[in-house]
Amino acid sequence: MMKEPENTTQMKQVLEVALLTSSQPLSLDDMQKLFSDRMERTTLRMLLDELKQDWDARTMELVQVATGYRFQARPEYTTFLARLNPEKQPKYSRAVMETLAIIAYRQPVTRGDIEEIRGVAVNPNVMRQLQERDWVDVVGQREVPGRPSLYATTKHFLDDLNLKSLAELPAMEDFVKSEVQLDL
């Protein structure tokens, strides 16, 4: 057991331990308790300033927030930390998947084509998701009134699905056959 800290180094150590192990920011009041309320607030503030400087070139930074002080990871590390707790893998909606399938199998197609095949209007959001993913892009316009965009799948889409070309997509006949088998 350590006796009461006698110099600023030891005092800063006590503050450092408390701040690193607390899951909530520590207020000046909290930190005064560490020293059995025998420390002036001005001294405390000075020590916190020094502690902040001690950590200047290091992984964590001492910051002051609304309810007090806390150590927090410097922003450049947050990408690494995010890898520890990956969010749940999201899934595309049925509308996105079917639209993608139609574009893959029937390209180049317009929105109208997709709507005709699916029997429902295409939500703009659906196309945006596929374009943001760089799986689908506009390759031209059909020369009909309104000049609708023609959508096609990209090379990036083939790469992501590990395909060399669209010809590697299962042919539709396979589906028809399996349908027959299912009917048996």
Partner 1 sequence: MIETPLSAKIKGEAFTQLPQDLYIPPDALEVYLEAFEGPLDLLLYLIRKHNLDILDIPMADLTRQYMEYVEKMHAIKLELAGDYLLMSAMLIEIKSRMLLPKPAEIESEDDPRAALVRRLMEYEAIKLAAQRIDEMPKVGGDIAVASAYYQHISDIKPPEVSLDDLTEAWRNVLKRASQYKHHKIGKAELSVREHMSIILRRLKTDHILEFSQLFDVVQDGIPKLVVCFLAVLELAREGLLRMTQQAPFSPIYVQLNSRE
Q: Are strands 136-141 and 60-65 parallel, antiparallel or unpaired?
A: unpaired
**Residue 40 or residue 106: which is nearer to partner 1 going by CB?**
106
Site string for partner 1, 27-56 (x = CB under 8 A): ------------------------------
Chain residues 126-165 in contact with partner 1, contact rule CB under 8 A:
133, 139-144, 147, 150, 152-153, 159-163, 165
- ∠ CA 128-133-137, rounded to 5°: 65
**Residue 42 or residue 90: which is nearer to partner 1 going by CB?**
90
Chain residues 73-112 in contact with partner 1, contact rule CB under 8 A:
73, 75, 77-79, 81-83, 85-87, 89-95, 97-98, 100-102, 104-108
CB 104 within 8 A of CB 153: yes
Alpha-helix runs per DSSP H in 24-161: 28-34, 41-54, 78-84, 94-106, 111-118, 124-132, 155-160
Residue 178's binding partner among partner 1, its own copies, none (Cβ under 5 to 8 angstroms by kind) is partner 1
- Single out the residue of 28, 65, 66 nearest to residue 44, CA to CA: 28
